[in-house]
Amino acid sequence: MSRRLQGRGAAPGAALAPAFIVRARTTATAVGRPAGSPQQERQRLDRALAEAHAQLLQLAERVAAEVGEDEAEIFEAHAEFAADPELGARAHAAIGGGASAEDAVAAGFGEFTELLAASASEYLAARADDLDDVRDRVVAILRGEQVGIEPPGEPSVIVAHELTPSQTASLPRELMAAVVTATGSPTSHAAILARSVGIPAVVGVEGLLDVVGDGQLVAIDGRSGEVLVAPDPSQRAAFERRLEEERVHRQRLDDLRDQPGQTADGHRVELAANVGSRDDLKAAIAAGAEGAGLVRTEFLFLDRGTAPTVDEQTAFYREVLDAFPGHRVVFRTLDVGADKPLPFVVRDPEPNPALGVRGVRLSLQRDPLFRDQLRALLRTGGIAGASSGRLAIMFPLVSTAAELIAAREVLEGVAREEAVDLTGVEVGVMVEVPSAALSADRIARHADFLSIGTNDLLQYLFAADRLVADVAELADVLDPDVLGLVASVIDAGHRHDAWVGVCGEAASDPATAAALTGLGIDELSMTRVAIPEVKQTLRDLTVQDCRMAANAALRADDAHSARAAVTRVLRTARPDA
């Protein structure tokens, strides 16, 4: 008999294949092996930790080559756990108390795991699974057991209570039709890995292993989180139709890759990518990006003890420009300080970091750091070179026109020293502080462009911390009054011949993208994975449809009814979508 189960969609896509059940993994408790002498056990432990460290570094290298550098960092962090002196010292202490090396590993890791697992943050709780993964590897090495999973004989839906990142990475991609787990969250590393390689995944399916047997046919929908076990012939036929629709939809999105962002009647909206790591470079063009609307340069500065040199920065910025030949590339100057401190910028702690010295405020206080970055950007020569990208510079967290004028003066000074003509370089600001949105007319007089950062703008407008899930619902850019403010920023930019874009998360929501297009936005910059869907939505609508969507939202009573109104307009305009 067929059974329908519900979990959380963790990676999009659908699959229909036999189940391959991954049995509960090795756990480090109840070893049943008498401990040798403390000295022998310590030697065994140290050798196993060193072996785990080496294996994890190797795995990181393989994942970097096959998946990407961001994903490889998961295993670099695991390797650090295996070499962590604090964890090692705790395990040694347990051996001193008579434990075997295996039990000592459990004791050493256990306390840390409990702390993480008890965290209210879903993200930190998911890291407890990472620590368990490393622990189990060390124990498997101590026991001489195989680490990872014996792969299935045919492409299968991998079914497990939970799947560790190393188990996920150890299975050949072509044998994983999908992944379904009874526990886990969409932010677990196994889910992140599945998304990166395009494997559909559903997590948090209660009762999964009570229902699914090895080899049984399973259908999963990675968007809705639906899992169908042993579908009957009519359910199977319906699911096969859904698979076909998904395939046609993907194909349509792929076909749009080299098409420009525009409405059905040819109104242009540039669709650019946000870049936050090296991995984003190739992937952005592959996703059909028309340039980069936000390069978060701080990722080059974080996690290091000293600032990158001007030469290092120039080399990196050139690499970014080269990834977008013929397109505009907007480099945002350092957006650090407060909650993103740099070890080489020592400052007193602030009681309210989100309102402290961050973004352009910090740059204006730390002149050498700011000037070095501007010098490096100007030395890229990305000014008129058609074979690479076109350089644009953007200042973050600007609150007043005076800050923009001050930042421009520093830029002009550096340009004189470098003998660079700034006429080919666009200079703009992020509009992400409410005062900047209110002053958009004054600011636009000194800017070539304004890029609305909806993540911070909404955080400050609603007094809703962007990292706190409980207040996230308050902050919707389709709120009629917020949308009205956005419309006034767009108009202010256009009055002064400045183009206006949006580079916050809101740009990646197709309904919001349509409403923004109706308000006259010139550019939308978003996470690369969202580009195909947004492109397709806009290409299915006329500019008049988009205006109707914007007007419907502006007339609504609140964010909720605004979103419903926009959805209705879009559904009428695209009945087949």
Contact residues for Mg ion, defined by CB under 5 A: 432, 453, 456
Residue 185 contact partner, candidates ligand PEP, Mg ion, none, CB within 5 to 8 A by sort of partner: none
Cα angle 521-331-196, degrees, rounded to a multiple of 5:
85
455: contact with ligand PEP by CB under 6 A:
yes
Say which residue the tokens 């990006």 belong to: 289
Question: Minimum distance from CB of 454 to ligand PEP (Å)?
Answer: 5
432: contact with ligand PEP by CB under 6 A:
yes
Question: Minimum distance from CB of 357 to ligand PEP (Å)?
Answer: 15
Interface pattern 386-415 for ligand PEP (x via CB under 6 A): ------------------------------
Nearer to Mg ion, 101 or 342 (CB): 342
- Which stretch in 7-15, 234-242, 313-321, 450-458 sits in contact with ligand PEP by CB under 6 A? 450-458
List 189, 446, 546, 560, catalytic entry: 189
Question: Minimum distance from CB of 478 to Mg ion (Å)?
Answer: 19
Residue 503 and residue 289: Cα distance in Å, rounded? 13
- Which stretch in 234-242, 447-455, 511-519, 526-534 sits in contact with ligand PEP by CB under 6 A? 447-455
Q: Regarding beta strands 156-160 and 14-22, do their DSSP bridges make them parallel or antiparallel, or are they unpaired?
A: parallel
Residue nearest to Mg ion (CB): 456
Nearer to Mg ion, 209 or 354 (CB): 354
* CA count, 13 A, side-chain hemisphere, 444: 23
Count, residues in the chain:
577
Question: Minimum distance from CB of 342 to ligand PEP (Å)?
Answer: 15
Taking residue 229's Cβ as centre, other Cβ atoms within 10 Å add up to 23
Whether 546 sits among the annotated catalytic residues: the reply is no
Residue 228 and residue 361: Cα distance in Å, rounded? 54
Nearer to Mg ion, 7 or 453 (CB): 453
Is-contact 404 446, C-beta < 8 A?
Answer: yes
| Residues 6 or more apart in contact with residue 2 via CB below 8 angstroms | 228, 229, 230, 231, 232, 235
Taking residue 180's Cβ as centre, other Cβ atoms within 10 Å add up to 29
297: contact with ligand PEP by CB under 6 A:
no
Is-contact 357 338, C-beta < 8 A?
Answer: yes
Nearer to Mg ion, 93 or 302 (CB): 302
503: contact with ligand PEP by CB under 6 A:
yes
Residue 503 contact partner, candidates ligand PEP, Mg ion, none, CB within 5 to 8 A by sort of partner: ligand PEP
In 325-470, the DSSP E strands lie at 328-332, 390-395, 426-431, 449-452
Residue 246 and residue 215: Cα distance in Å, rounded? 24
| Residues 6 or more apart in contact with residue 477 via CB below 8 angstroms | 454, 458, 483, 486, 504, 506, 512
Nearer to ligand PEP, 397 or 552 (CB): 397
453: contact with ligand PEP by CB under 6 A:
yes
Question: Minimum distance from CB of 239 to ligand PEP (Å)?
Answer: 38
Question: Minimum distance from CB of 512 to ligand PEP (Å)?
Answer: 13
- Which stretch in 32-40, 111-119, 255-263, 449-457 sits in contact with ligand PEP by CB under 6 A? 449-457
Is-contact 64 190, C-beta < 8 A?
Answer: no
**Can you tell me whether residue 428 is helix, strand or coil?**
strand
- Which stretch in 153-161, 178-186, 448-456, 485-493 sits in contact with ligand PEP by CB under 6 A? 448-456
Report the residue from 55, 454, 536, 537 that binds ligand PEP according to the rule CB under 6 A: 454
In 241-398, the DSSP E strands lie at 270-275, 292-296, 328-332, 390-395
504: contact with ligand PEP by CB under 6 A:
yes
Residue 454 contact partner, candidates Mg ion, ligand PEP, none, CB within 5 to 8 A by sort of partner: ligand PEP
**Can you tell me whether residue 19 is helix, strand or coil?**
strand
Whether 446 sits among the annotated catalytic residues: the reply is no
Q: Regarding beta strands 201-203 and 426-431, do their DSSP bridges make them parallel or antiparallel, or are they unpaired?
A: unpaired
* CA count, 13 A, side-chain hemisphere, 75: 29
Q: How many chain residues interact with ligand PEP (CB under 6 A)?
A: 10
Residue 136 and residue 82: Cα distance in Å, rounded? 11
Query: Distances from the Cα of 316 to the Cαs of 154, 279, 308, 475, in angstroms?
Result: 43, 13, 10, 35
- Which stretch in 116-124, 224-232, 454-462, 536-544 sits in contact with ligand PEP by CB under 6 A? 454-462
List 53, 78, 327, 503, catalytic entry: 503
Question: Minimum distance from CB of 280 to ligand PEP (Å)?
Answer: 13
Residue 178 and residue 11: Cα distance in Å, rounded? 9
Report the residue from 17, 48, 192, 294 that binds ligand PEP according to the rule CB under 6 A: 294
Nearer to Mg ion, 277 or 542 (CB): 277
Q: Regarding beta strands 523-526 and 156-160, do their DSSP bridges make them parallel or antiparallel, or are they unpaired?
A: unpaired
> Catalytic residue positions?
189, 503
Residues in the site for ligand PEP, rule: CB under 6 A? 294, 296, 335, 432, 453-456, 503-504
